Amino acid sequence: MDLESFIVATPDFPEPGILFRDFTPLLMDAAALSAAIDGLAELVEPMRPDVILAPEARGFVFGPAIAKAVGAGFLPARKPGKLPPEILAHEYDLEYGSAELQITPFEALAGARVVIHDDLLATGGTVDALAQLAARAGAEVVGATFLIELEALEGRARLSEHCPADTIHALIRY
């Protein structure tokens, strides 16, 4: 199935110069949604993860489905103010701002094999933050998956500091 045909590009959103890739039409088509989940799970399964780690909010779209498909747990990384203490937090820069992600219960990650999942790999700031949180919790990042990768922004290079390059995958590349 041509998943790329379900992606809508919106120029100058959320700021001038940004080309926003909206995957909502893919989510609304049952066959495309199923194909995306199956494709992502197929990429993740050989990595044998214990946990899928994904950021709020768009990483939550496919993260739990991937975890269920491969028999792994799911840990959401949340925005500030959404988790009770104790937390691990990491602040990072985005292509048009800054953000922070937090995780808990981080004790459950000690020794775990983690695959990071997000909807989009752009500059790599979000996945770098996730990888750093996982490492601080004692987990091993064994790979990462994305629905979409924006290759020109070279986020893959930033993530390859945390996991083998051959375990970083995207279903759609621009």
Residues in the chain: 174
pTM score of the predicted model: 0.93
**Tally of domains in the chain:** 1
Q: Hey, which bits of the chain come out as E strands?
A: 8-11, 19-22, 51-55, 73-77, 88-94, 97-103, 113-121, 140-149, 168-173
The enclosing domain of 151 has a CATH number of: 3.40.50.2020
Confidence band, pLDDT 50/70/90 cuts, at residue 95: low
| Pick from 31-35, 47-51, 58-62, 105-109: least confident | 105-109
Burial 83-117 (b: 16+ CB within 10 A, else e): beeebbbbebeeeeeebebbbbebebbeebbbbbb
- Domain region containing 148: 3-173
Please give the Cα distance from 5 to 166 (Å, whole number). Answer: 26
